Structure 1
Amino acid sequence: MSSTTDPLFTPLSVGNLTLRNRLVMSPMTRGFSPDGVPPEFAPDYYGRRAENEIGLIVTEGIGVDHPAALGDSTGTGWDYPDLHGDAALAGWKKVVDRVHAAGSAIFPQLWHHGGLRLEGTGRHPEAISVRPSGNWGPEPGPFQPPHYREQITTMTRPITESEIADLIAGFARSAANAMKVGFDGIALHGAHGYMIDTFFWDVTNQRTDRWGGPSLRERAAFGVELVKAVRAEAGNTPIMFRFSQWKLHDYDAYLAETPQELEELLGPLTDAGVDIFDASTRKFAVPAFDGSPLTLAGWAKKITGKPTMAVGGVTLATDLQSSFIDGSPAEDNLPAVRERIAGGEFDLIGIGRSLLTNPDWGTRVRLGQPLKSFKPEDNGTQV
């Protein structure tokens, strides 16, 4: 299959942006920024993937301009970058310029840990971690270290109305910073149990004011206002929104049990200004709901009419958590990706762990060359 007929290598226009193909570097936490500034290797790290056919780079999660944005959210540290402050913005400008020189687009993923952050950690240890209703949610899973599990479940007070306004303003300031730096769009992390997602999930949002309620449409209010604020700063550039069913502390969680419930979330977000939905799953091809073969990305497109991205286990045989322990053999599941893109089920495919192992992933796939298997140590790559 030539690159002119391969669905993976066809362009896609989203608003005022044209992507050269359907390949996306999925956001992956790095943890090499103890001072909040992208490390010296960051321009080459991202640029190398752009030079090898990845049409859109979505950065690692970047802390928004809010004191409680980042901290220890896993029990393993908090060396994550910021999207505020002169030094951090200068560092991201180098990354953006390098990716643009390679002919690709780049979005920053705006990130806030919310209730997953341990109080007393991060660059602002005095900041209070913010939660919609003060509770953590279910019991922590076995993948969190014991000291984290013991501390994180402590009940805190619900976030106040004025604190919600400050939080939304912090996202908006960071979006404005992204535009100043030259990013091509904004990616919002609204998944996995982090700040935005905790407002969506009925387990962590038990509010009875305008920010909560029994329906997903009511619990979408925070996300809607946040998207509107980001849109005001981003102008006509695309906004990508990541959502998920699963959470870091509950892999079996469901935000939406039915397509109708999913519409209650995605419909208001679409009206607020989202251009692309990033449907985060652990296996991209798994049907989202009983009675239909459609994936979560497929349902998102059917419901909203917007371009969507599928992600989860692309060209890898084993699941996320297992691969970090034992690695994962490469697996050619790209025929299923091509079929779904060609058929219009979704529009973009996010590549994660395999792209850490294979920075030349796009070139290898275009030329029909084999991919290397993922090793646990690849998660710490700086190449």
Structure 2
Amino acid sequence: MTTSPLLRSYSSASLRLPNRLVMAPMTRHRAAEDGTPLPIVAEHYAQRAGAGLIVTEGIWPSSRGQSEWRLPGLETAEHVRGWRGVTDAVHAAGGRIFAQLMHGGRKGHPLARLTGDLPAGPSAVAAPGPVHVRDGRKAAAIVPRAMTTDEIRQAVADHVQAARNAMDAGFDGIELHGANSYLIHQFLADNTNLRADEYGRGSIADRIRFPVEVVSAVASAVGAHRTGLRLSPGNPQFGMSEADPAPVYRALLSEVDLLGLAYLHLTDDERYPALADLRPRWHGTLVANVGENGDPTTRERGEAVLAAGLADLVSYGRAFIANPDLPERFARDAALNAVDETTLHTHDAVGYTDYPTLAAAEVH
């Protein structure tokens, strides 16, 4: 048995975690067509309840923010009932789970949305395709609409209502997805926010206005201690461009740091060392993600992040997909299962709930 620092407990004003391993949010397409999570979703997350904290896949806060077909929502009573089954299963297994709210903004296609309309983002700038649409097909990207000021305000309200729905569904908290090319990130980035109004390019204060409004409104509605924020400064995924992210994200953190959020979930990138630059500017819990655009994060790399003082917790994505008992495997220095890449975005239990644990292997 190892004594990895990843396996030490962690406590803050908002969190009481048995270890420092966070299951990162990962899109898996295991929802019904109306956005209700399938029954296997409860089994999937309950299997991984040994994580210090689970963050769900991205969940659209309203149909206006749906980016792809068969992604889950948190808008209707049926969605809330479906997610209640998930949270009950995770809590029964001793786990803790936050819901990630993910508004697609410009990302999407009419055939990928229950509303059947064009997606809308800060500006009419298309995202690279393809997009998962009905019947398992993929469609080329299209040019979205630019959001009106009223639609921006509606997006804030949609996040607030979805956060309240998450509390009704039994989640321990919510994470706002401000990373990886989704709506909040689109307001922050150079090439996706071409607006000339108070939400646009006039100044950094304009660029961060929408993110600050969303975070503040949600924290006020459900409690800052139940609200996390994920950011990925400089991340070029899905056609994003940020030539000089440092001043933008420093300004954003100076605003949201004052709120006392549960945590900041920060993706590092070789183009901009966000952890090193922003860690001293954040006074709360920091979750590091260091494998977003590269190889899966190893135990050793996670330990190095903690040893360097760059974060309090470390999130793991692909390792948790294939290893539901990841903390135990780290504790026992056991080999990890490999991810089956062909089943990441299918709709059944194969490659989702059938990865073997060490205990199951020992029985056989």
Q: TM-score range by the shorter chain?
A: 0.7 to 0.9
Alpha carbons of structure 1 residues 175 and 13: separation in structure 2 relative to 1, 3 Å: same
Q: Which residue of 2 aligns with 1:36?
A: 35
Cα deviation, residue 144, structure 1: 6.8
Q: Verify the 8 A CA contact 1:19 1:104 in the aligned structure 2.
A: no
Query: Structure 1 residue 271 and structure 2 residue 258: aligned?
Result: yes
Runs of at least 5 residues in structure 2 that lack an aligned partner in the other structure = 354-364
1:95-106 correspondence runs (5 A): 95-106=86-97
Q: Which residue of 2 aligns with 1:292?
A: none
Q: Verify the 8 A CA contact 1:356 1:378 in the aligned structure 2.
A: no
Distance 2:290 2:22 in 1: 12
Distance 1:83 1:210 in 2: 29
Consecutive aligned runs of 4 or more in structure 1 exceeding 6 Å deviation: 143-147
Cα deviation, residue 122, structure 1: 1.3
Alpha carbons of structure 1 residues 11 and 116: separation in structure 2 relative to 1, 3 Å: same
Q: Verify the 8 A CA contact 1:21 1:55 in the aligned structure 2.
A: yes
Q: Which residue of 2 aligns with 1:80?
A: 71
Cα deviation, residue 117, structure 1: 1.2
Q: Which residue of 2 aligns with 1:336?
A: 301
Query: Structure 1 residue 129 and structure 2 residue 129: aligned?
Result: no
Q: Verify the 8 A CA contact 1:99 1:106 in the aligned structure 2.
A: yes
Query: Structure 1 residue 319 and structure 2 residue 294: aligned?
Result: yes
Give the secondary structure class of the aligned counterpart of 2:239: coil
Distance 1:58 1:266 in 2: 21
Q: Which residue of 2 aligns with 1:19?
A: 17
Give the secondary structure class of the aligned counterpart of 2:328: helix
Alpha carbons of structure 1 residues 267 and 375: separation in structure 2 relative to 1, 3 Å: same
Distance 1:49 1:345 in 2: 25
Count matched residues. 342
Query: Structure 1 residue 246 and structure 2 residue 235: aligned?
Result: yes
Q: Verify the 8 A CA contact 1:200 1:255 in the aligned structure 2.
A: no
Q: Verify the 8 A CA contact 1:20 1:104 in the aligned structure 2.
A: no
Distance 1:307 1:16 in 2: 9
Cα deviation, residue 373, structure 1: 2.5
Q: Which residue of 1 aligns with 2:357?
A: none
Alpha carbons of structure 1 residues 340 and 180: separation in structure 2 relative to 1, 3 Å: same
Alpha carbons of structure 1 residues 236 and 257: separation in structure 2 relative to 1, 3 Å: closer
Alpha carbons of structure 1 residues 288 and 135: separation in structure 2 relative to 1, 3 Å: closer
Distance 2:244 2:19 in 1: 31
Q: Verify the 8 A CA contact 2:109 2:131 in the aligned structure 1.
A: no
Cα deviation, residue 272, structure 1: 4.7
Distance 1:334 1:168 in 2: 37
Cα deviation, residue 378, structure 1: 4.7
Q: Verify the 8 A CA contact 2:121 2:183 in the aligned structure 1.
A: yes
Cα deviation, residue 47, structure 1: 0.6
Give the secondary structure class of the aligned counterpart of 1:369: coil
1:287-298 correspondence runs (5 A): 287=270, 289=272, 295-298=273-276
Distance 2:41 2:199 in 1: 38
Alpha carbons of structure 1 residues 148 and 214: separation in structure 2 relative to 1, 3 Å: farther
Cα deviation, residue 102, structure 1: 2.1
Q: Verify the 8 A CA contact 2:257 2:283 in the aligned structure 1.
A: no
Q: Verify the 8 A CA contact 1:279 1:296 in the aligned structure 2.
A: yes
Aligned mate of 1:363, from 318, 328, 344:
328
Pairwise CA RMSD: 2.6
Aligned mate of 2:174, from 179, 186, 202:
186
Distance 2:138 2:74 in 1: 29
Give the secondary structure class of the aligned counterpart of 1:123: coil
Q: Which residue of 1 aligns with 2:356?
A: none
Q: Which residue of 1 aligns with 2:286?
A: 308
Distance 1:287 1:319 in 2: 10
Q: Verify the 8 A CA contact 2:163 2:218 in the aligned structure 1.
A: yes
Q: Which residue of 2 aligns with 1:9?
A: 7
Deviation by residue 1:171-216 (Cα, 9 ceiling, x = unmatched): 0000011112221111011112111111111211122222122443
Distance 1:184 1:95 in 2: 12
Distance 2:73 2:245 in 1: 35
Q: Which amino acid aligns with 1:370?
A: A
Q: Which moved more, 1:358-367 or 1:210-219?
A: 210-219
